[in-house]
């Protein structure tokens, strides 16, 4: 046998043995593009709720806590490293009780209001303070300065429930009118902001099916048309985001778009995106830190419901918007646990993110990447001290949660071309809410930019590693490196006293040719960066 034939036969035998040993399979189709992964898919959300704004973002200019004009310095520095694309504010349900004029003018003279959430049973028991009685220290100018400090675009949610359209128009005027040309531009300048903010993203109400007005979808469509008629632009083409469905409410999507286009399909040009909200909530005792392996699988399974929500709403949108001019905007998503792990008694919906939440972050971002042609923006809820947060803070203490590390790992996908990839591994069954759930054993996404392929993968198995055969179609790898977020304890989390329990590690891996095998640790988030050959 010639040496060349012997080597080819040996390579074939090795590949066959590797395939037999592998428990899972990933196939990446380098020549099957999906769409560009918009950085906006990795966006954030900040609401005046609990400890998000006060003691989270805003500590005050005279605080002993290091700050940049009143904004927590440690948060700014951590976010800068993440390069956040967009931040949504001021809500959430708070938005539809908020008058933007309350947050302008001299800070000491701004009105104090009862916060929207004051009647929540948790807040009834909470101590008095800015989380309960809104002092309006943090208004439009402060929020835009925060966005500029961290390098993000602002996304403002307008009050449709309790303010007339005139107030929406005038908020746009305040933000975007050229210096010195309108009275509202002069008001902005009096805050120290002579130049316009150039705000592009505007939400027209929030959760209008619920706290945003209890509208029926056709009723909201009429309000949307009224609020968006003849908006001032000031050189900025506004990207208007309509209040979309709650989870799987396909009827809302159909009826809203049907009523909106009653006067013609040209009305679709007004809508940049339709806002879908979905939280995967825990049931039973529903604790953020204290959970069983069955709880682990059931919540991860609920997180993967994001995919059918996207495809089903997209199909319904296509019935009316055949050209799909309107995209989906998932501007609230994440895990929602029962109270008991918040770091302060006034932090409504505060919870301690663990490795389970990190996997939910990765599963969701991978879903957005796989549907980069459908989803224009995603905003995890919320940034700090609330729900699926990236940070926790109390007074001078500050820590990044496991979710932060996932966002930092996944940033390398941004701006790349998403390509089709198939993931196969044994699924894990679970039962929750009286239903049978199932979560895939392995999920992820792939993208290519130039000669670099980024492959992210989540091993959902709580205790076992996953030997996986990775096959590249239409490409070959010449080298690779790995980032992995994992911990032997699925309950692991970072705390003020021990901030480095969960963090990513990096290493060089053997990744050559069009097929190789890699072992993914149990309960892990993984990123493989492969340099491709010519």
Neighbouring C-beta atoms of residue 467, cutoff 10 Å:
14
**Residue where the block lists tokens 């128009």:** 169
Q: DSSP readout, 102-154?
A: GG-S-GGGSPPEE-GGGGSHHHHHSPSSTTTEE---S-HHHHHHHHHHHT-EE
Cα end-to-end distance, the chain, whole Å: 31
Strands 43-45 and 477-485, by their bridges, are unpaired
**Residue where the block lists tokens 């990446």:** 28
The tokens of 96 are what? 């539809």
Residues 482, 137: Cα–Cα separation, whole Å? 44
The tokens of 194 are what? 């002579």
Residue 119: asked if its preceding bond is cis (omega within 30°), the reply is no
CB 217 within 8 A of CB 209: yes
Neighbouring C-beta atoms of residue 505, cutoff 10 Å:
9
Torsion-angle region of residue 252: left (phi > 0), alpha (psi -120 to 50) or beta? alpha
Q: Is 207 part of the annotated catalytic residue set?
A: yes
Residues 388, 363: Cα–Cα separation, whole Å? 13
Residues 511, 167: Cα–Cα separation, whole Å? 57
Burial class (CB in 10 A: 0-12, 13-18, 19+), 265: middle
Best CA proximity match to 237, nearest among 269, 211, 261, 212: 269
Helix (H, G, I), strand (E, B) or coil at 258: helix
Q: Is 27 part of the annotated catalytic residue set?
A: no
Sign of the CA dihedral 367, 368, 374, 380?
positive
Residues 37, 114: Cα–Cα separation, whole Å? 40
- Out of 223, 332, 342, 469, which one is annotated catalytic? 332
Residues 167, 99: Cα–Cα separation, whole Å? 8
The tokens of 204 are what? 């027209």
Neighbouring C-beta atoms of residue 17, cutoff 10 Å:
11
CB 241 within 8 A of CB 203: yes
- Out of 134, 207, 223, 307, which one is annotated catalytic? 207
Best CA proximity match to 37, nearest among 337, 344, 305, 416: 416
**Residue where the block lists tokens 């949108």:** 317
Burial class (CB in 10 A: 0-12, 13-18, 19+), 16: exposed
Query: Which residues are known catalytic residues?
Result: 207, 332
């Amino acid at each position: 046998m010639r040496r060349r034939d012997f080597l080819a036969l040996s390579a074939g035998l090795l590949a066959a043995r590797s395939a037999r040993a592998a428990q899972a399979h990933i196939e990446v189709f380098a020549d099957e593009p999906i769409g560009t992964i918009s950085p906006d898919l990795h966006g954030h959300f900040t609401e005046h709720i609990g400890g998000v704004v006060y003691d989270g973002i805003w500590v005050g200019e005279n605080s002993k806590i290091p700050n940049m004009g009143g904004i927590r310095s440690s948060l700014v520095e951590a976010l800068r490293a993440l390069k956040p694309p967009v931040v949504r504010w001021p809500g959430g349900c708070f938005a539809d009780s908020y008058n933007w004029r309350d947050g302008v003018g001299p800070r000491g003279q701004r009105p104090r209001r009862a916060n929207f959430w004051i009647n929540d049973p948790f807040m009834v028991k909470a101590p008095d303070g800015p989380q309960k009685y809104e002092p309006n220290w943090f208004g439009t100018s402060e929020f835009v300065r925060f966005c500029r400090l961290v390098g993000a675009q602002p996304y403002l949610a307008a009050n449709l429930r309790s303010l007339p359209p005139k107030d929406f128009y005038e908020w746009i005027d305040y933000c975007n009118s050229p210096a010195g040309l309108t009275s509202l531009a002069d008001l902005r300048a009096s805050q120290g902001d002579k130049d316009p903010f150039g705000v592009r993203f505007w939400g027209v109400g929030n959760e209008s099916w619920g706290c945003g007005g209890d509208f029926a979808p056709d009723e909201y469509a009429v309000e949307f048309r009224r609020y968006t008629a003849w908006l001032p632009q000031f050189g900025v083409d506004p990207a208007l985001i309509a209040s979309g469905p709650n989870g799987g409410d396909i009827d809302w999507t159909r009826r809203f778009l049907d009523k909106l286009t009653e006067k013609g399909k040209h009305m679709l040009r007004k809508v940049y995106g339709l806002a879908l909200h979905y939280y995967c909530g825990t049931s039973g005792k529903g604790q953020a830190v204290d959970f069983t392996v069955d709880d682990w699988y059931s919540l991860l399974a609920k997180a993967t419901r994001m995919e059918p929500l996207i495809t089903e709403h997209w199909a319904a949108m296509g019935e009316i918007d055949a050209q799909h001019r309107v995209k989906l905007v998932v501007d609230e998503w994440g895990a929602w646990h029962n109270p008991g792990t918040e770091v302060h008694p006034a932090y409504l919906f505060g919870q301690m993110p663990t490795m389970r939440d990190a996997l939910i972050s990765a599963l969701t971002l991978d879903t957005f990447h796989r549907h980069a042609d459908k989803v224009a923006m995603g905003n995890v809820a919320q940034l700090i001290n609330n729900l699926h947060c990236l940070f926790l803070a109390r007074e001078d203490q500050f820590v990044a949660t496991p979710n932060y590390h996932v966002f930092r790992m996944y940033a390398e996908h941004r701006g790349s071309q998403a390509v089709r990839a198939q993931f196969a591994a044994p699924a894990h069954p679970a039962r929750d809410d009286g239903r049978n759930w199932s979560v895939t054993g392995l999920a992820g996404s792939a993208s290519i930019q130039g000669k670099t392929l980024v492959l992210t993968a989540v091993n959902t198995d709580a205790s076992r590693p996953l030997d996986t055969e990775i096959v590249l179609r239409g490409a070959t790898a010449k080298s690779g490196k790995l980032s992995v977020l994992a911990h032997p304890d699925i309950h692991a989390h970072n705390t003020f006293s021990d901030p480095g329990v969960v963090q990513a590690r990096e290493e060089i891996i053997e990744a050559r040719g069009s097929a190789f095998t890699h072992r993914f640790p149990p309960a892990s988030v993984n990123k493989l960066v492969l340099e491709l050959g010519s």
